[in-house]
Amino acid sequence: MAKKLVIEHLNAWFGAVQAIRDITIDIEENGVTAVIGPSGCGKTTFVRCLNRIHEVVDNAMVSGRVMLDGVDIYSKTSDPVLVRRRIGMVFQKPNPFPTMSIFENVAAGVKLNGVRRKDRIADTVERSLKSAALWEEVKDKLHKPATTLSGGQQQRLCIARTIAIEPEVVLMDEPASALDPISTARIEELIQQIKERYTIVIVTHNMQQAARVSDYTGFFLLGELIEFDRTSDIFTNPRDKRTEDYITGRFG
Segment 219-241, tens digit of pLDDT:
999 999 999 999 999 999 999 99
Closest CA to 162 of 251, 211, 91: 91
**Which residues are CB-contacts of 189 (< 8 A; sequence separation ≥ 6)?**
133
Within a domain: residue 222? Answer: yes
Within a domain: residue 53? Answer: yes
Alpha-carbon gap, residue 152 to 81, rounded angstroms: 28
> 216: part of which helix (H) or strand (E)?
strand 216-221
Can you give the CATH number for the domain in which 50 is found?
3.40.50.300
The b-or-e profile of 39-62 (16+ CB within 10 A means b, else e) is eebbbbbbbbbbbbbbeeeeebeb
Within a domain: residue 252? Answer: no
Beta carbons of 160 and 97 less than 8 angstroms apart: no
pLDDT tens sequence across 175-201? 998 888 998 999 999 999 999 999 999
Compute the average pLDDT of residues 91-109. 94
Within a domain: residue 82? Answer: yes
Beta carbons of 123 and 181 less than 8 angstroms apart: no
How high is the pLDDT of residue 249? 87
Mean pLDDT of the chain: 95
Q: How many domains in the chain? A: 1
Within a domain: residue 23? Answer: yes
pLDDT tens sequence across 25-63? 999 999 999 999 999 999 999 999 999 999 999 999 999
Within a domain: residue 94? Answer: yes
Given a cut of 90, is residue 163 above it in pLDDT?
yes
Q: Which domain holds residue 193?
A: 3-247
Alpha-carbon gap, residue 86 to 244, rounded angstroms: 35
Is the dihedral angle over the CA atoms 211, 7, 29, 237 positive or is it negative? negative
Beta carbons of 14 and 223 less than 8 angstroms apart: no
Is the dihedral angle over the CA atoms 191, 165, 143, 90 positive or is it negative? positive
Compute the average pLDDT of residues 3-21. 97
Within a domain: residue 156? Answer: yes
What is the percent of the chain where pLDDT is above 70? 99
Strands 60-68 and 32-36: unpaired
CA dihedral 210, 212, 217, 220 (to 10 degrees): 20
Closest CA to 133 of 149, 156, 151, 152: 156
Within a domain: residue 81? Answer: yes
**Which residues are CB-contacts of 50 (< 8 A; sequence separation ≥ 6)?**
5, 7, 66, 87, 169, 171, 201
